[in-house]
């Protein structure tokens, strides 16, 4: 098997597909789809997203220092794509996608009711990197859809059928291969 050299670029795939909801100081809201998002710290719980300064939602994050990361599912794939290719400056994405804004507990930006997980975030640092600005944020609150909770209080995100983004395309997540530590687990 031979390797082919590519020019330096972002080939870290697949990525989570998240819809980030935002609000400005006047209360106007918007949603933007972001594939460059991730967990960066456990204690305190922190995440990051990268957004182009030219995107309509960017100024809202800069104004309020807040946003909500909303996880996406197969059912939300169309809305996620729409929110990534249309500008909130030109269309009301809530109306066009028929998604429901729900008041957050701690931040101005609303949660998306149809999302199985909503992560309320407060920006602690912004890094201007070039094409994108990196927003490093502390998690202020998390909400999960009770439809995916079992009787023992365990959350089953896999039942919501989350999606990933892979080199320009959206994919459903496949079958379970193991759990953390399965490679060293003792056989019964």
Q: What is the pLDDT of residues 11-65, one digit of tens each?
A: 889 999 999 999 999 999 999 999 999 999 999 999 999 999 999 999 999 999 9
137 vs 148: CA distance, rounded Å:
26
Confidence of residue 161 (pLDDT cuts 50, 70, 90): very high
Q: Is the pLDDT of residue 92 over 90?
A: yes
Determine the average pLDDT of the residues in 55-83.
98
What is the dihedral sign for C-alpha 166, 169, 170, 174? negative
Q: Which long-range contacts (CB under 8 A, 24 or more apart) does 89-95 make?
A: 89/56, 93/30, 93/31, 94/29, 94/31
Q: Give the CATH number of domain 15-172; options: 3.40.50.300, 2.30.30.230, 2.170.150.20, 2.30.110.10.
A: 2.30.110.10
81 vs 173: CA distance, rounded Å:
17
Is-contact 31 110, C-beta < 8 A?
no
Confidence of residue 188 (pLDDT cuts 50, 70, 90): confident
Per-domain residue ranges for the chain? 15-172
Q: What is the pTM of this model?
A: 0.94
In this prediction, residue 134 carries a pLDDT of 98
DSSP E strands, 52-90: 66-71
In this prediction, residue 187 carries a pLDDT of 82
């Amino acid at each position: 098997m031979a390797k082919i050299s590519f020019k330096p670029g972002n080939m870290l795939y697949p990525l989570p597909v998240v819809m980030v909801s935002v609000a400005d100081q006047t209360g106007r809201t918007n949603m933007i789809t972001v594939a460059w998002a991730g967990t960066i710290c456990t204690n305190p719980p922190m995440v990051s997203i990268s957004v182009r300064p030219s995107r309509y939602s960017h100024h809202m994050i800069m104004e309020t220092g807040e946003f909500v990361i909303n996880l996406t599912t197969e059912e939300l794939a169309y809305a996620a794509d729409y929110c990534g290719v249309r500008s909130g400056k030109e269309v009301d994405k809530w109306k066009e996608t028929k998604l429901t804004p729900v008041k957050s507990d701690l931040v101005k930006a609303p949660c998306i009711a149809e999302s199985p997980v909503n992560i309320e975030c407060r920006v602690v640092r912004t890094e201007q990197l070039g094409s994108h600005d990196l927003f490093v944020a502390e998690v202020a609150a998390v909400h999960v859809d009770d439809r995916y909770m079992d009787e023992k209080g365990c959350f089953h995100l896999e039942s919501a059928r989350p999606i990933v983004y892979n080199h320009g395309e959206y994919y459903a997540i496949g079958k379970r291969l193991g759990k953390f530590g399965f490679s060293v687990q003792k056989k019964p």
